[in-house]
Amino acid sequence: MEQHDYFIIARAIHLLGVVLWIGGVAFVTTVLLPAIKAITSPEKRLELFETLENKFSFQAKFVTLATGISGYIMLDIIDGWERYLHPHFWWMHLMTLVWAVFTLVLFILEPLFLHQWFRKKAAQDSEKTFSLVHNMHIFLLSLSLIAVVGAAAGSHGFRW
């Protein structure tokens, strides 16, 4: 296979990863968290969230890794590292930032302390904790969607 073929495969994996990853974040943000916040029992709310979040965690970690690796491969194949020096490639900076934040949360912060912090705070004040988590998801989803739109247009030559 030629490098062009590897690039096409990497891009397909990258796009599939983004669809599954950001689509999952969109589902959690727009459907799951609002539905869970509507549950009146704080104990049931926490139990349901943790059950569903545990199921999604593996998928999120897997596709976040696949997206990062495939993005790296694409950049390496086209030797596109200097694009980070140009402001009109802002969407690459944003994609990288979004990826880094999710990777940091999923692989480092959550296992080290966020999971326990969340359980403790949800037990103390479920309403406030779930609102905070929902607002954080809204913010990250918004950044992610801006990156997706920017990448879709920017990768085809559109200059903002």
Residue-wise pLDDT for 126-148, tens only, equals: 999 999 999 999 999 999 999 99
- pTM value surpassing 0.85: yes
Q: Would you say 62 and 107 are in contact if contact means Cβ atoms under 8 Å apart? A: no
The number of domains in the chain is 1
Per-residue pLDDT band at 159 (split at 50, 70, 90) = confident
Per-residue pLDDT band at 53 (split at 50, 70, 90) = confident
Q: Would you say 91 and 144 are in contact if contact means Cβ atoms under 8 Å apart? A: no
Task: Give the structural domain span for 147.
Answer: 3-156
* pLDDT, tens only, 75-128: 999 999 999 999 999 999 999 999 999 999 999 999 999 999 999 999 999 999
Q: Is the pLDDT of residue 25 over 80?
A: yes
CA distance 132 to 121: 10
Per-residue pLDDT band at 14 (split at 50, 70, 90) = very high
SS3 92: helix
CA distance readout (Å), 7 to 19, 44, 103, 150: 18, 46, 23, 20
Cα Rg of the chain, angstroms: 18
Q: Would you say 127 and 41 are in contact if contact means Cβ atoms under 8 Å apart? A: no
